[in-house]
Amino acid sequence: MSSSDATTSVPAASLTDAGFVAPAETDILAGVLADITAALGGNVNQALTTPQGQLAQSETAIIGDCNDRILSVFNGIDPRTASGRMQDAIGFIYFLTRNTGEGRADFEYRRQNSVGANSQGMNASVLGSLLSVPGVTDAYVVDNQTSQDTAIGGVAVSAHSIYCCVAGAATSASIGLAIFQKKSPGCGYTGSVSVTVQDPAAVYNGNGPFYSVKYDEATDTPIYFVVQIVNSSSVPSNAASLVQSAIVSAFTSGEETVRPRIGGTILAGRYYCVVGALGDWAAVEEITIGTTAEAGEMKVGLNINQAPSISAANITVELV
């Protein structure tokens, strides 16, 4: 390549069926060095310690940073990986705004389920509607289609009724309306909380009939952890607080594999990587969980009226 050619040896990024693909920075560096060599007439010392080598590294870093930023934009418009302001923008498409204190995974969970809120008469319709209520942090919806009272997920659900369990700080009026507007006509309710709802349909001109809607407020269920770390000279003095913070963060705002919800099953094994990611010193011997301080189980199954909670005080760290 001559210095007058309007070409470059730097490999270009590309858009493929798999998305945006950026070249490796080692290949970018090789291309930049080739360009500099050609521009200076050839036979240039390409050692990175030379002035031209330093310039080549700087140019490579600039190109690499630009590619990284383009990649972040592409990732930002994918609901599966979007975060921060880009995820907020996706949420606005669904008329959703982020609740105070929820993370990327929680917001995406609400967005996914909000799609069902566009439908009517299905459990997914009610669930999506509930998760769109300001203040609702989690919900569970199931119905009993049989003619007899039936135990479902540890809860007795009346015949031909829908059961809704809600966690968070939303008003009973907003929860009741969200349920009423999406459940099928004639369907009964099961729940310990009763709220009177007026049918808001415009056809009634403000004089719609009143209905009694029932639902349950989720029972806060603390989850306890016992984490055993192999003792060594590399274990820091604040190991316990580091482990506690990592588990609390994953438990409350982590991805779906570790973020427990109403009626879910919590696996102790999901948290090995969470602790192990703290560093080489965090060699996990064992992690057990439970609903009491003994925390001697490998998994905990929650009823559909239980919302799991976590606090650092309920996480015991042992050096073994």
Length of the chain: 320
> Which residue ranges of the chain lie beneath pLDDT 70?
1-6, 101, 112-113, 115-119, 254-257
315-319 and 224-229 beta bridge pairing: parallel
The answer to whether the CB of 9 falls within 8 A of the CB of 31 is: yes
- What secondary structure does DSSP assign to 249-272, as a single string? HHHHHS-TTT---TT-EEEGGGGH
**What is the maximal distance between C-alpha atoms in the chain?**
89
Dihedral (C-alpha) 122, 123, 128, 134: value to the nearest 10 degrees?
120
d(CA 171, CA 18): 45
Among 142, 94, 95, CA closest to 122? 142
> Quick one: pLDDT at residue 194?
97
The answer to whether the CB of 288 falls within 8 A of the CB of 223 is: no
Residue 84, H or E segment: helix 84-93
d(CA 312, CA 238): 13
d(CA 141, CA 184): 13
**68 token code pair:** 């990284």
The answer to whether the CB of 309 falls within 8 A of the CB of 223 is: yes
pLDDT digits (tens, 9 = 90+) for 215-239: 999 999 999 999 999 999 999 999 9
Contacts of residue 143, Cβ cutoff 8 Å, sequence gap at least 6:
123, 157, 161, 162, 163, 187
**177 token code pair:** 């309306």
Residue whose structure tokens are 């055993």: 228
Q: What is the pTM of this model?
A: 0.68
Dihedral (C-alpha) 92, 96, 102, 103: value to the nearest 10 degrees?
-30
> Quick one: pLDDT at residue 102?
80
> Quick one: pLDDT at residue 101?
64
